[in-house]
Homo-oligomer: A and B are copies of this chain.
Amino acid sequence: MNFCCQCGHALVFEIPIGDDRPRHLCRQCDAIHYLNPRMIVGVLPYLDNKLLLCKRSIEPRYGLWTLPAGFLENGESSEQGALRESWEEARAKIRVDDLYAVYDIPQINQVYLLYRGELTDHNFGPGPESLEVELFSEREVPWNNMAFPVMTAVLKHYFNDCKLGHFGLHRGVIERKR
C-alpha cells in the first residue's frame, strides 16, 4: 500500500496517535487505511453420507480438490455467501443445517466460516472455477490431492461426526508459513 485511495497522495507507515501499531497514514487528507483479515465462506454439501468436492480450475492449487468456498462479499451474510459460492463453483443448491467450522489462518489473515448443508437434489456440476464436481464417501475422498489443509481438517471432523451421529461446531487455528 503506497498511495492514499481517497486522495492519491503518497502514504507513510507510522503508529497513529492513540494506536499501538503502525498503519498506512495519509498526511494530506488524514485518512488511516486499516488492513483487516478476510473471511472465506463455504459449505460442506452432503448427500447420502457423501460430500461434494470441487476440482479447482484456477490458481492457486489448480487441479486439486476443495469444498465450495470463497471470499465473503460486502452486502451479504456469511450464510448467503456460502450458498452463493456453492452455486458458483458447483451449481449446487443446498439446505443449510448449521455453522459447522470456524478456522483461523492468522498468517495469511483469513478466517474460514463453513456451513453444513444437504444438497436438495443430484443436479450439480462444475461452475467456471471448477474442472469437476463429485460426491465422495470418506474412502473415496482424494485425501492426497486436497488443495487446502483447512479443508482436509474439516472433512476429517465431518466423517468422524457422521460415525458419532452428532455434528457440533469445530474450531481451529491452522499454522501456515507466510
Binary flags per residue of A52-70, CB closer than 8 Å to B gives 1, else 0: 0000000000000000000
With a cutoff of 8 Å between Cβ atoms, the chain B residues found around residue A75 in the complex are: 106-107, 109
A2 at the interface (CB under 8 A from B): yes
Interface extent on A, as a size class? 35 or more
* A8 with B18: CB separation less than 8 A: no
With a cutoff of 8 Å between Cβ atoms, the chain B residues found around residue A21 in the complex are: 73
What is the chain B residue whose CB lies nearest that of A174? B77
Stretch at the interface among A35-43, A132-140, A142-150: A35-43
CA distance A160 to B4 in the complex (A): 47
With a cutoff of 8 Å between Cβ atoms, the chain B residues found around residue A72 in the complex are: 36-37, 111
* B104 with A102: CB separation less than 8 A: no
What is the chain B residue whose CB lies nearest that of A88? B20
CA distance A3 to B3 in the complex (A): 8
* A3 with B5: CB separation less than 8 A: yes
Nearest CB of B to A62, in Å = 15
CA distance A80 to B8 in the complex (A): 34
* B37 with A74: CB separation less than 8 A: yes
* B109 with A78: CB separation less than 8 A: no
With a cutoff of 8 Å between Cβ atoms, the chain B residues found around residue A38 in the complex are: 36-37
* A79 with B104: CB separation less than 8 A: yes
> Please, could you name 16 A-B residue pairs with CB atoms under 8 Å apart, sorted by A?
A1-B5, A1-B6, A3-B5, A3-B7, A5-B24, A18-B128, A36-B71, A37-B39, A37-B73, A75-B106, A77-B173, A78-B104, A80-B106, A98-B169, A102-B102, A111-B113
